[in-house]
Structure 1
């Protein structure tokens, strides 16, 4: 067995203890019930596309609170009049929905796309979430002492509501919705698949939000913000980990019931392979993982082809 095979064998057997709070299931039952009937208060406004074969709507909807969440709803003109599969896509940390043309590959597949902002980050969406204490730089430590009002709960409901919005559109086949993203977006895709019964597939590229206790110790990415917070206030570490336990994909993996495709880079120092495998190894759904021994925190073209093939194989 060579070094690469040995490393993969160790990761495939990696199954750290869950640190899930005892009321994990009741917390999410209560949360989802509370927001089930919350109005979307949405709007769609047609805009001029850069590409003539796509229709572009600038969307606003509400999720966790009254923050208007921005999204692009994109349709391929060549499929006009048909009920389409829809890719609901979430961006990476510090990003935004960007420009509509970045999603052209899915339109060429004949799919609709709903690309949404994550609140407060580098998109067109603000953040009206209140916080009872200050935070480290970035967003994820906002409200981290309170499971009910923390940033993670807000973006979780925003994401669930994004899928709800997509399923209600007359152009979309609600039985063929894919949640998709990379890094933070991959974590949100998995989180949404764990919490919502609307997705049919989940595509998670180098996903974040997995085995976050390990990530706080070792990651060079967004979880350094929580490490800085806990370093400044070591007496609050247990409370931080308690809150994280409600949102960690490792703790929620068995709730995912739809087919999942995951990528992982063995040289990734942001979403480290231990964190990805810790969540993946606990999934009981139909699943496949593609490890890349020399890939860091990126999304390579070869795996992009794998995700397109996966969606086409499952959705048509």
Structure 2
């Protein structure tokens, strides 16, 4: 088969390249403690968009650093007992999408909550205020500040906090809550399942946010990862701090969170993906210790994988 990366047999055993900080577990336990101490100030606002068989709300909560985070919440009507729920995460720099995208799950008796990542294309708030550059992209936001100031730390916490909010909703069956997304959304679904291990199922397609140093080694720091190259060119042109900087990025590398996942995982990967190279995705998948399955598309790049969304629905119906 055509190759842009390692042969498949090597991908299946690849362990990742990006350094893992020595205090990684302590870092995330401290972050989760901070999150649990927040008053989320949950607010539901009825949407102008409504359909006969579901209620549609704007959901707001207060996340890390006091930012107000927005999500679309669609709840099926006439479901008399607690029902399953899905968390949906979007691609990089995008937003939670149209209400219409959520209605398939509502028609199946699921609630669905789609979060806007802070500072990207939706309504969530980005408090900002970091030292160092904010140009160009979110991976490098806070990279020259304290590790607690990395923006994706807060975005990961937002996913976990939202999952806890959804699990606690009286209409939701807490044992049947899943998360899904593609690209950035796939990476966030994995991070969410790691930081909120009560999630029952996680479906991730072509996940972003994994094994940053491997992207650099493959000379693929462009497209979604272009900001890595821009950062080095402007702020470390001789790469004197390369090991330090990749180690700091290791705090927000989902491959290092993957072994915390307890829910069942289904992941889809295209072997010709040059945006999020297959090895970076396998680095996360290979560290998952819960039940898992991998759907491989040998001829596909960083794109919608045919049939995968249908498989996700069947996967979630099995909760």
**TM-score tier (shorter):** over 0.9
Q: Aligned match of 1:251 in 250, 256, 272?
A: 256
Question: What is the match of residue 123 of structure 1?
Answer: 122
Cross-structure match for 2:296: 291
Whole-angstrom distance in 2 between the partners of 1:294 and 1:55: 40
Tell me the SS of whatever aligns to 1:222.
helix
Secondary structure at 1:245 match in 2: helix
Query: Which residue of the partner structure matches residue 282 of structure 2?
Result: 277
Question: 1:138: which partner in 2?
Answer: 137
Name the CA shift for 1:147/1:110 in 2 (closer, same or farther; >3 Å): same
List gaps (5 residues or longer) in structure 2: none
Q: Structure 1 residue runs of 4+, over 6 Å off?
A: none
In 2, Cα distance between equivalents of 1:23 and 1:126: 29
Match of 2:220 among 205, 218, 224: 218
Root mean square deviation, CA, Å: 1.8
| 1:186 matches 2:191 | no
1:142/1:151 contact within 8 Å kept: yes
Q: Helix, strand or coil: the match of 2:275?
A: coil
Q: Is the 8 A contact 1:180 1:189 kept in 2?
A: yes
Cα distance change, pair 124–174 in 1 and its aligned pair in 2 (3 A): same
* Residues 10-63 of structure 1: CA deviation (Å, up to 9, x unaligned): 321323356111111111112111221211012001123353222101111111
Name the structure 2 match of 1:63.
Answer: 63
CA drift at 1:77 = 2.0
- Greater relative contact order: 1 or 2 (C-alpha under 8 angstroms, separation 6 or more)? 2
Decide whether aligned partners of structure 1 residues 3 and 48 sit closer, same or farther in structure 2, where only a CA change above 3 A counts.
closer
- Number of residues of Structure 1 aligned to a counterpart in Structure 2: 311
TM-score by length of 1: 0.93
What is the distance in 2 between the residues matched to 1:220 and 1:206? 16
Partner of 1:162: 162
Displacement of 1:159 in angstroms is 1.1
| Structure 1 stretches lacking a partner, 5+ long | none
TM-score, with structure 2 as normaliser:
0.92
Q: Encode CA deviations 1:173-228: one digit per residue, 9 max, x unaligned.
A: 11111111111111011111111133111111110111111124424332211221
